[in-house]
């Protein structure tokens, strides 16, 4: 991880769950981390929870990634204040109750704007920063097993409605980015992390109770990010699929 010392990592959805876990690991590893999230107070709580000597390496910006203007403003601040983006972790995501065939279209749009378009907005700006500075950076997509071919939760489990197609689309976005970077002869890496159920705020208490201990923790996913980030410059960890021991799909 020596080459990442004081490099700038941007993490979306940093206020809780996987984003907060990634923040703690990367700050401890010596990176400058910019946490983006809608909940300003939760970002401040995260900063206060860090060891005192690490708090100066955490920078927070209030940002709803579904709003392109807010993303542009946040990334402009990062460029001006920190010099650019070296690592991007697209983590922000939402899920809503209901079935795709019945739920209101605005709720479907909200899921797609956050989970898909938010990642695209951030990825375009981060990649542009890396290419302009000839930085061999790293783009991460926190995806889901719900976005992999063969996903089949069964008829008794609740529908994930638009969440599943948003993650299938993110799988495609990651692969297109990988191919375009190769075509451009860029050394920027891309990695898709595909976890199964994770014990975060977007998973209901009912589902957590049903799964028991057959569920990942946010730190499990953050460790996968750290593993891919710490790979040698010549090795690209293209994809990691994580499931809890005993998880069916």
How far is the C-alpha of 217 from the C-alpha of 63, rounded, in Å? 25
Q: Among 121, 163, 227, 249, which one carries the catalytic annotation?
A: 163
SS (H, E, C) 44-70: HHHHHHCCHHHHHHEEEEECCCCCHHH
User: How buried is 242 (Cβ within 10 angstroms: 0-12 exposed, 13-18 middle, 19+ buried)?
Assistant: middle
Q: Is 151 labeled as catalytic in the residue annotation?
A: no
**Residues sharing a CB contact under 8 Å with residue 115, sequence separation 6 or more, in sequence order:** 92, 93, 94, 163, 166, 167, 170
Residue 5 CB: number of other CB atoms within 10 A?
A: 10
Across the strands, what pairs with 140? Answer: 89, 191
Catalytic residues: 163
């Amino acid at each position: 991880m020596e080459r990442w010392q004081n490099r700038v990592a941007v993490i979306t959805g940093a206020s809780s769950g996987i984003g907060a876990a990634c923040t703690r690991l990367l700050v401890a590893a010596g990176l400058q981390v910019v946490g983006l999230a809608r909940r300003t107070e939760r970002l401040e709580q995260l900063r206060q929870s860090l060891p005192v000597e690490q708090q100066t390496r955490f920078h927070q910006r209030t940002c709803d990634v579904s709003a392109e203007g807010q993303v542009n403003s946040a990334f402009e601040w990062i460029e001006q204040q920190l010099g650019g983006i070296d690592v991007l972790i697209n983590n922000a995501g939402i899920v809503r109750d209901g079935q795709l065939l019945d739920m209101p279209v605005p709720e479907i749009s909200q899921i797609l704007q956050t989970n898909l378009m938010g990642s695209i907005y951030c990825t375009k700006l981060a990649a542009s920063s890396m290419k302009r500075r000839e930085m061999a950076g790293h783009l991460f997509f926190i995806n889901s097993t719900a976005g992999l071919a063969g996903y089949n939760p069964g008829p008794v489990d609740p529908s994930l409605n638009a969440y599943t197609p948003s993650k299938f689309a993110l799988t495609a976005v990651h692969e297109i980015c990988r191919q375009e970077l190769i075509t451009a002869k860029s050394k920027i890496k891309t990695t898709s992390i595909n976890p199964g159920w994770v014990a975060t705020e977007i998973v209901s208490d009912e589902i957590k109770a049903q799964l028991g201990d057959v569920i990942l923790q946010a730190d499990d996913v953050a460790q996968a990010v750290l593993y891919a980030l710490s790979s040698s410059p010549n090795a690209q960890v293209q994809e990691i699929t994580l499931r809890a021991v005993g998880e069916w799909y």
